[in-house]
Amino acid sequence: MAPVTLSPPLLLLAILLLSTAGTTQCHHGHKSQRHQTGGTRMPKKTAAAGASSHPADTVHHAICHTTPHPVSCLTAVASHLAAAAAGAKMVEASAVSVQLLPTNVLSVLLASLRGAELALSSLSPALSALSAPPAASPAGGSLRRGAAQDCQELHAATLSSLSRSASLLAAPGEGLPAVRAHLAAALTNKATCLDGLAGASGPRIGGLLSSLDDAYEHVSNSLALVAGRGAVSAAGFVNAVAKTVHNQRLLQDDDDDDDSGGDDDSDNDGDDNGGNTGQPAATVITVAKDGTGNFRTVGEAVAAAPNNSETRTVIHVKAGTYEENVEVPPYKTNVALVGEGRDTTVITGSRSAAADWTTFRTATFGVSGEGFLARDITFRNTAGAGKGQAVALRVNADLAALYRCGVEAHQDALYAHSFRQFYRECAVSGTVDVVFGDAAAVLQGCALLARAPLPGQSVVLTAQGRADANEDTGIALHHCTVSTASAGLPAGTRVFLGRPWGAYARAVVMDSYLGQIVDREGWLEWPGAEPGRGDTVYFGEYGNDGPGADTEGRVDWAGVRQMEYDEAAQFAVENFIYGDEWLGATSFPYDDDV
């Protein structure tokens, strides 16, 4: 039999798997910084001491001390370095691979990723037990609706992102931005799970929370090792995108005079990558309430879409109001939702925090499947201003784009949860934290519409959740307009551009029209935040006009700045979400620069 030759990605994964077969993941005790459990971390310290006692480990020791959690890094190096180093040398020696990181850094990174994967995998049974009957659940019966499901689904997503990150590092020319996006999303997944578990109690909940903290230290370290290193390889990234979106023009306008649209005056009309010649035909599913389509509900159509598809599935939703909560799970990839106008095709729900749902699970429409597109449709949550968090649209999927869509709610209307996202000519209306989350999200040519909040409340347009300074995330408003919704605002209502949900929150407003409603202070503090958060955030304004654009009275925080072009350009589509490499395949227009 002829010898079998493995490609570099497969060979690297094989080395990692074989070297860790039969390994038992040890629990390293509980932290006391966030979750008081009284445990110790001595096993980690012992492993770290052993790892640093040999002169040959000096370089790896130094690399680990550049990470946020050196002890966890050294523990991973002590356990997994041999396999990781072999994989790194294989990548370096490959004639087809682009060397993205120095070999020693890559070795430590792969060891850290393996440490994260094993530590988190060991927690799978405990997280699964959250949905057990109250007597068997670590949290007893104290969980909010959806909390167990949130943690389990996000845990699976994190494990997938860790595996994907290792594969991307081994693949030819894939580039580091995708790795950073996956690792930042993993950290956001943890934060979301903990949000859902807030207030939970039970005999084992403290240990679970502390173990999550320990495991995610490896994720934070991995992100630190790739932060700010290297640029995307254009050819490699195009190849990766081609696998997911197949460069199809399936959503090209049949009629550019759609009354829900805006002006197609962008620098890129989505046609640079050519037509769909030679590409597989899309699957088209029709939804109609009157029974004239394939299905009567959007949820049924999503369920019927092929799993893990590399070709586009177009779900055409005919005019009507569809009352349902819909989830596009991770295995429903490359789904395109096409309505008949955002004023005529509406998906609506009413879940809210007041009904004891987690914020994540309140979404009327939730997206976890990579490569999701939507156009000419509205997502609505009708819970009302008095019901607390009530999300209309949640997106936690990479390479997602929406065009001429509506997002309508009150508090927490658009949950840009994680990964890279783009919104063009959409109308987003709400009250408190209208656009929030920890994605790298660009809203371009969109209308942000302030609705009437509860008495005494202010309207806040953005609440960005970046909690790790190494994350490539933030909210960028570009060529947008800020004004009131049709019903107007009560006299004296203050409207702010944003507030810092995370300690390193980033939000920028560029080349936009800011109406009279924008408060002269511009930015609002997060209630109960640690002192000095205004110094660690990044809130920027550039080239705006309108009566609300005067920056004379803005808050005096170190993190608030009037940007020059070079700063603003970092948040352009081409630089912030690498849009030139994937948006052309969507047929949606976009401006790639500021």
Per-residue pLDDT tens over the stretch 457-498: 999 999 999 999 999 999 999 999 999 998 889 999 999 999
> Cα separation of 145 and 300, whole Å?
23
Closest to 513 (Cα-Cα) out of 542, 544, 477: 544
DSSP 8-state assignment for residue 388? -
Query: What is the pLDDT averaged over residues 255-282?
Result: 48
Please tell me whether residues 445 and 515 are part of one structural domain.
Answer: yes
Asked if residue 137 is part of any domain, the answer here is no
Asked if residue 25 is part of any domain, the answer here is no
Confidence of residue 173 (pLDDT cuts 50, 70, 90): low
Q: Collapsing DSSP states into helix, strand and coil, what is residue 287?
A: strand
Asked if residue 516 is part of any domain, the answer here is yes
Please tell me whether residues 221 and 292 are part of one structural domain.
Answer: no
Per-residue pLDDT tens over the stretch 114-152: 999 999 999 999 999 998 777 566 766 668 899 999 999
Per-residue pLDDT tens over the stretch 16-39: 333 333 333 333 333 333 333 333
134-148, 293-307, 394-408: lowest mean pLDDT where? Answer: 134-148
Query: What is the pLDDT averaged over residues 506-532?
Result: 97
Please tell me whether residues 114 and 202 are part of one structural domain.
Answer: yes
Per-residue pLDDT tens over the stretch 87-108: 666 656 554 344 567 888 999 9
CATH assignment of the domain containing 63? 1.20.140.40
Q: Is the pLDDT of residue 181 over 90?
A: yes
Query: What is the pLDDT averaged over residues 446-452?
Result: 98
Neighbours of 189 (CB within 10 A): 27
> Cα separation of 203 and 416, whole Å?
34
210-214, 239-243, 287-291, 566-570: lowest mean pLDDT where? Answer: 239-243
Please tell me whether residues 226 and 346 are part of one structural domain.
Answer: no
Residue 203 has phi, psi (to 5 degrees) of: -65, -25
79-93, 371-385, 395-409: lowest mean pLDDT where? Answer: 79-93
Please tell me whether residues 220 and 288 are part of one structural domain.
Answer: no
Where is the domain boundary, 230, 254, 275? 230
Please tell me whether residues 321 and 175 are part of one structural domain.
Answer: no
- Annotated active-site positions, please? 412, 433
Asked if residue 255 is part of any domain, the answer here is no
With 0-12 / 13-18 / 19 or more C-beta atoms within 10 angstroms meaning exposed / middle / buried, residue 138 is buried
Confidence (pLDDT) at 81: 80
Please tell me whether residues 220 and 289 are part of one structural domain.
Answer: no
CATH assignment of the domain containing 516? 2.160.20.10
CB 590 within 8 A of CB 422: yes
Confidence (pLDDT) at 214: 96
Alpha helices in 42-102 (DSSP H): 42-51, 58-64, 70-93
Among 24-28, 208-212, 244-248, the range with the most confident prediction by mean pLDDT is 208-212
Asked if residue 518 is part of any domain, the answer here is yes
Total domains, the chain? 2
Residue 327: domain span: 283-585
Return all residues near 466 (Cβ < 8 A) that are at least 6 apart: 438, 473, 474, 502, 503, 504, 505, 506
- 475-504 as b/e: b if 16+ CB within 10 A: bbbbbbbbbbbeeebeeebbbbbbbbbbbb
Asked if residue 64 is part of any domain, the answer here is yes
Please tell me whether residues 550 and 417 are part of one structural domain.
Answer: yes
Q: Which two three-digit tokens encode residue 19?
A: 């070297």
Where is the domain boundary, 196, 212, 230? 230
Q: What is the mean pLDDT of the chain?
A: 84
Q: Is the pLDDT of residue 418 over 90?
A: yes
Please tell me whether residues 509 and 400 are part of one structural domain.
Answer: yes
Asked if residue 191 is part of any domain, the answer here is yes
Please tell me whether residues 443 and 527 are part of one structural domain.
Answer: yes
Q: Is the pLDDT of residue 14 over 50?
A: no
Asked if residue 267 is part of any domain, the answer here is no
Please tell me whether residues 403 and 490 are part of one structural domain.
Answer: yes
Q: Which two three-digit tokens encode residue 107?
A: 């070795």
Please tell me whether residues 196 and 297 are part of one structural domain.
Answer: no
Per-residue pLDDT tens over the stretch 319-365: 999 999 999 999 999 999 999 999 999 999 999 999 999 999 999 99
